[in-house]
A and B are shown apart, each in its own frame.
Chain A
Amino acid sequence: QVQLQESGPGLVKPLEMLSLTCGVSGTFISSGGYVWSWIRQHPGKGLEWIGYIYHSGTTSYNAPFKRRVMISVDTSKNQFSLKLSSVTAADTAVYFCAREASTGAGYFDPWGQGLLVTVSS
């Protein structure tokens, strides 16, 4: 089955860049037809969609993140990545990667297990 796994540093300094990768197994991103998303969850809080990317590299970002986010895809490695610049303590959260449940669905299944990223000096 399709599985996703987030990786990256769990600690980032304020004003630096947060960089995470989502490795995909059980399917190929290059097959197309789905969006691949990043979603975050502040500790003890709700979920916040950050953005998504197609296999082609076309992206869409949630407005609050547009000025400092970039999502990219590397089909040769079957992974996609998140970069969030100028982080502050407010960016401390569990970051999930997820795939659209079906082509054009808009809802997500499966999800990665999540990775806690703490912003602190």
Chain B
Amino acid sequence: EIVMTQSPATLSVSPGERATLSCRASQSVSSNLAWYQQKAGQAPRLLMYGASTRATGIPARFSGSGSGTEFTLTISSLQSEDFALYYCQQYKNWLSFGGGTKVEIK
């Protein structure tokens, strides 16, 4: 089983600032990594796949990078609607999710 670890668990950021979220895989997943955003009471929303490809309708302030075992999701200038939970998911070997990072208002 590939274990996905996200850090930090909580990220406090002011609106307009940059947020950098990390996701680490216990073994290489190549670029088979997706990111999701989840708001309270809602289903996760696909943000990114292939580690760096934005899903349809996702604003350009979201960017993803990395390959192998280390990945980053960057939100360049946080908007009010971006404060949420973020999960990474690998799909290289079966399917597994990280524990999530909560982006909260500082």
Contact = CB atoms under 8 A, between A and B. Distances in A.
Same complex origin of A and B: yes
Interface of A: 37, 45-49, 60, 62-63, 96, 98, 101, 105-114
Given A46-B87, A107-B89, A101 B46 contact: yes
Contacts, number: 54
Interface residues on B, range: 20 to 34
Contacts of A63: 1
Interface of B: 1, 32, 34, 42-46, 49, 55, 87, 89, 91-92, 94-100
B48 to A, nearest CB: 9
B91 A106 contact: yes
Contact of A101 (B32, B49, B87): B49
Contacts of A101: 46, 49, 55
B100 to A, nearest CB: 5
Contacts of A107: 34, 46, 49, 89, 91
A96 B43 contact: yes
